[in-house]
Amino acid sequence: RQAAKPQSGPIEGVDRILAIGSGKGGVGKSTVSANLAVALAAEGRRVGLLDADVYGPSQPRMLGISGRPSSPDGQTILPLRNHGVTLMSIGLLTPEDKATIWRGPMLMGALQQMLRQVAWGRLDVLIVDLPPGTGDVQLTLSQKAEVTGAVVVSTPQDIALLDAKKALDMFEKTGTKVVGMIENMSTFVCPCCGEETQIFGHGGAKAEAERIGAPFLGEIPLDIDVRLSGDAGVPVVAAKPQSPQALRFREIARKL
Ligand code: ADP
């Protein structure tokens, strides 16, 4: 008989767990998670990505992974892999256009399974793409896994920053170290004339990071290639490795 796996504490074979959170949805948390995962793999790290955004899993699409993970023994789930990243997502188990309508306990069960029943193998880092906000998933993760640190993604817009502050507060209350903040969609460079427009403002995330004494990890511009490559399942770090956006992600990944 196999000994029961522990339900909390470190995950066997996984050195570090980095959670990527945001207060608001739509600020690019999943895009940043996918690109950082691919960037870390490009830096030679063994990388896993757990898509914990159970109500809106976008990682299968962003990493260009489809198909169902198999489970030869009916217990251990074998994750799928692309762009050097090992992925597990609820999105691999449910049809893309069907809703996951779960109450807390179901959700926590699913998260536990994705953490502990997946054959992650040896990983230097497991990136966890959290759902937006400060709810059940975030709480379960902080209680059931030893999260090494959290990265908070925000746009520079006041309304996004306000919610990002709540996410920062949550990490503080759950005893999770904030390893840094990233400002996404920080400027838009016109592809025709090169003029910079600060559509959502600029500099707010850096100021907030300074206020709480957390490192500011960098800015990612609002850029058509970031969106197109994400939609196409080849994150910009892999699609256009020499582009300024890809190099930004690589630079941030080296700080993690
Ligand atoms: P979240 O995970 O915070 O909900 P997503 O990563 O799904 O956000 O991003 C929301 C939308 O914005 C997606 O269509 C994505 O392609 C796009 N997007 C995210 N970051 C950028 C960026 N820097 N430039 C252009 N589009 C972006």
> What digits encode the pLDDT tens for the residues 170-201?
999 999 999 999 999 999 988 888 888 998 88
Structure-token match 């008989």, residue found: 1
Q: Is the CB of 86 under 6 A from ligand 1?
A: no
Q: Is the CB of 25 under 6 A from ligand 1?
A: yes
- The segment with the largest mean pLDDT, out of 43-52, 140-149, 153-162, is 43-52
The two beta strands, 216-222 and 178-189, are parallel
Q: What CATH number does the domain located at 14-152+222-250 have?
A: 3.40.50.300
Length of the chain: 256
Q: Is the CB of 140 under 6 A from ligand 1?
A: no
Q: Is the CB of 31 under 6 A from ligand 1?
A: yes
Residue nearest to atom 26 of ligand 1 (CA): 227
Q: What angle do CA 86, 88, 89 make, to 5 degrees?
A: 140
What is the CA 25 to chain-centroid distance, rounded? 12
- Domain residues of the chain, as ranges? 14-152+222-250
How do residues 82-131 score in pLDDT, each as one tens digit? 999 999 999 998 777 777 777 778 888 889 999 999 999 999 999 999 99
User: Which pLDDT band, with edges at 50, 70 and 90, does 5 fall under?
Assistant: low
| b/e sequence 226-246, b meaning 16+ C-beta within 10 Å | beebbeebbbbbbbbeebebb
Q: What is the ipTM of this complex?
A: 0.99
Query: How crowded is the C-beta side of 25, counted as CA atoms within 13 Å?
Result: 7
Q: Do the beta carbons of residue 39 and residue 249 sit within 8 Å?
A: yes
Q: Is the CB of 230 under 6 A from ligand 1?
A: yes
How many helices (DSSP H) and strands (DSSP E) are in the chain? 9, 9
How do residues 62-85 score in pLDDT, each as one tens digit? 999 998 999 999 889 999 999 999
User: Which pLDDT band, with edges at 50, 70 and 90, does 3 fall under?
Assistant: low
The alpha helices in 145-202, defined as continuous H runs, are 158-173
SS3 readout for 81-93: EECCEEEEEHHHC
Q: If you measure from the C-alpha of residue 87 to the centroid of ligand 1, how many angstroms do you get, rounded to a whole number?
A: 19
Q: If you measure from the C-alpha of residue 177 to the centroid of ligand 1, how many angstroms do you get, rounded to a whole number?
A: 25
* DSSP per-residue codes, 3-61: PPPPSSSPPTTEEEEEEEE-SSSSSSHHHHHHHHHHHHHHTT--EEEEE--TTS--HHH
Q: If you measure from the C-alpha of residue 8 to the centroid of ligand 1, how many angstroms do you get, rounded to a whole number?
A: 32
